[in-house]
Structure 1
Amino acid sequence: MLRALFQPITDVVTRWVASRRPKGRSVELKQKNIFIFPTVAGWAYLTVCLVLYLVAINYQNNLIHGVSFLLIALGVLTIHYTFFNLSGLTVSAVKAGHCYVGEMAEFSLNVEANNLRHYENVHLCFRGEEGGQYFYLGATRERRVTLYVKAKKRGYLTPGLLKIETVFPFGLLRAWSWVALDLSATVYPKPHKGRLPATFNDDVDGRLGNENKGDDFSGLDAYRPGTSLRHIAWKQYAQGRGLLSKNYVGQESQKIWLSWEAWSELSTEARLSVMTYWARECEHQEQEYGLSLPHTSIKPATGPDHLHRVLTELALFRAKDSDRE
């Protein structure tokens, strides 16, 4: 009953706060988007000031009058110092680190001061996350801050609102602001070994199970971009003969396709986990691999960029429906 009675007021306040919330890749904190309110200690301090003032009036005591006025003046100055400990800061999104389900996604932010003031004991934390990080800006006018968010499901991870707050200098007042930074990380499916699909031949199985170190050297060839560093002829390069790559008998093998139909007995999430595992394994063994998903196909290749592209496709595959699987 009471909740329904106050709901219109709550809605108005919520819309008002949202309208003052800065958004974007980079935001500056100023009067419009900084809130300030007494802490528990602040309310106690205000109560003491009020009691002293009433006692001074009642007993006409000039000394108590002086003490009460001094404390009130100190409280007013605290309002300004607490506000200025946030005002003038610019918070910018730098980058988001990719991770796997169950790991901590890393978000890098840059905090910069637009004036010559020092900023002390300022706390940054994403909504709903514990910990966060404190920072100080003195002679160094900017600082890189790294925050972490638990990745609970695959897909794009948006960390939500960033809270920046301070209780400097005396802990009597808390100044804070909520910032909606345009920043997101890609969360890959959690790797799970599973089985190799039956379509892989024995040669591929052997390569992925144990790295092949017994191939016979068959000669040198011109270097091609993307060739493994292990196959570069470093001795000849040191002799000034340029970049050459070593060839081995039996080095070439079947290109691997990570196909959606190869694990038809598994659920969607289990398939994605197994495909993630074998994509990483193929990359580790420097075996060319491609991806085949419904309505998506990536040609076989190797390299960090190729791995990221494959894992991203796996992460985003029916991501909106993953909660219902």
Structure 2
Amino acid sequence: MLRAIRRRLDARFDAWIRRRTPGRLPVRFDRHRIYVLPTRFGLFFAVLLLAMGAGALNYNNNPALLLCLLLGGAGIASLLQAQLQLSGLAIHAIGAEPVAAGAPLRLRVHARADDSRERRGLRVDCTGQTATLDLANSAGEADIVLPTRVRGWLDPGRLRISTTRPLGLARAWAYAWADAPLLVYPAPEAGGPPLPTGRGEQAQSRVSPGGEDVHHLRDWRRGDSLRAVAWKASARRDALLVREFEQPQGADIVLDWQRLQALRHEDRIRRLARWVDEAERESRRYRLRLPGQPELGPGRGAAHRHACLRALALLPREDDARAAG
């Protein structure tokens, strides 16, 4: 009950803060965006100073009163210094590379300062995870490891950049938000059937030492089998040459959603995600056919893999798909 109330209040506070300090990246922190409050130690320090001041006035102890005033001045200076740690700091980029659901996602926060003033003790907090922001030559970044559970878009929410330097009496903080949510790929299936084989006229071939037809000759490298050495050609060239063969690999692989009707909705997505990764590892060209979407491919490579996994990650949930059907 208390956790639900706290989350609700936190969400309302987040919405209020975001309306009060709108803006897209880069976000520069100034006095309108920075908040400063005493820490627990700072409150204890203030109570201690009040007690010292009351005692010094009661007993008319001038040295004690002078010490109390000096410590109070140091406390006020620490409030200003904590704000100056963030003043002039700008958050330029917040992003992360997509990962499969269940794997940790590394959120990178890039910051830059307007001046060369030394800034220490900067921390970045996001959804309960904390990282240190180190600035070298007025620029730096922080890596926050976020847990992922489900596929699709992940909104990291607000990021709090804070510091308690120099004396730990006050905490200064400011907020920043990512421009766009982060993408989480579907978790690939563990085990399962092998990658479908392509057939047809669009047959491909790959170079393999265990093929059938000789593709070309190349120079011998450490680790090559002696059986693959072309001795006659090596004698003519006076250098060891190795035969490489061409092995038929089949046509473009078709990863079709409709061919997996025996599986549940999420199981289909996980299997197709695994087949996409396997096709990339084997350097195979593949197509992806999903319901209600244009066919992706044929192709291979990082861009094609990202397009396929993104399409799988953004497929509707099983309940939403049933409602739409």
Distance 1:323 1:129 in 2: 33
User: Aligned residue for 1:108?
Assistant: 108
CA contact (8 A) 1:291 1:310 kept: yes
1:233-261 C-alpha deviation (Å, 9 max, x unpaired): xxxxxxxxxxxxx9955424122111111
Distance 2:43 2:138 in 1: 33
User: Aligned residue for 1:129?
Assistant: 128
Tell which deviates more after alignment, 290-299 or 187-196.
187-196
Distance 1:12 1:313 in 2: 32
Q: Among the aligned pairs, what percent are the same residue?
A: 25
CA contact (8 A) 1:93 1:181 kept: yes
Distance 2:12 2:122 in 1: 29
The code of the aligned residue for 1:116 comes to S
Q: TM-score under structure 2 normalisation?
A: 0.78
Does 2:173 align with 1:176?
Answer: yes
**Distance change in 2, residues 1:59/1:12 (3 Å):** farther
User: Aligned residue for 1:35?
Assistant: 35
1:52-90 C-alpha deviation (Å, 9 max, x unpaired): 111122111111110111111111111111110111100
**Distance change in 2, residues 1:146/1:181 (3 Å):** same
Does 2:259 align with 1:262?
Answer: yes
Distance 1:61 1:260 in 2: 85
Instruction: Say which SS state the counterpart of residue 43 (structure 1) adopts.
Output: helix
Alignment of 1:56-71 (within 5 A): 56-71=56-71
Distance 2:249 2:55 in 1: 93
**Structure 2 unaligned spans of 5+:** 1-8, 217-242
Distance 2:70 2:124 in 1: 33
CA contact (8 A) 1:22 1:179 kept: no
The code of the aligned residue for 1:214 comes to G
User: Aligned residue for 1:273?
Assistant: 270
The code of the aligned residue for 2:74 comes to L
CA contact (8 A) 2:256 2:289 kept: yes
CA contact (8 A) 2:152 2:184 kept: yes
User: Aligned residue for 2:311?
Assistant: 313
CA contact (8 A) 1:96 1:184 kept: no
Distance 1:201 1:110 in 2: 44
Instruction: Say which SS state the counterpart of residue 144 (structure 1) adopts.
Output: strand
Distance 1:254 1:13 in 2: 56
> How many pairs are equivalent?
282
1:158-197 C-alpha deviation (Å, 9 max, x unpaired): 2111010000011111111121121432211111132258
The code of the aligned residue for 1:143 comes to G
Distance 2:215 2:18 in 1: 68
1:10-57 C-alpha deviation (Å, 9 max, x unpaired): 999776533333542210111111111111100000001111111122
Distance 2:11 2:157 in 1: 20
Distance 1:75 1:323 in 2: 59
In the TM superposition, structure 1's runs of 4+ consecutive aligned residues that sit over 3 Å from their partners are 9-23, 199-203, 217-220, 246-250, 319-325
Q: TM-score under structure 1 normalisation?
A: 0.78
1:131-184 C-alpha deviation (Å, 9 max, x unpaired): x2213435x110122222111111122211101000001111111112112143
CA contact (8 A) 2:82 2:172 kept: yes
User: Aligned residue for 1:239?
Assistant: none
RMSD in angstroms over aligned alpha carbons? 3.1
Distance 1:278 1:124 in 2: 37
Instruction: Say which SS state the counterpart of residue 120 (structure 1) adopts.
Output: coil
Distance 2:265 2:145 in 1: 28
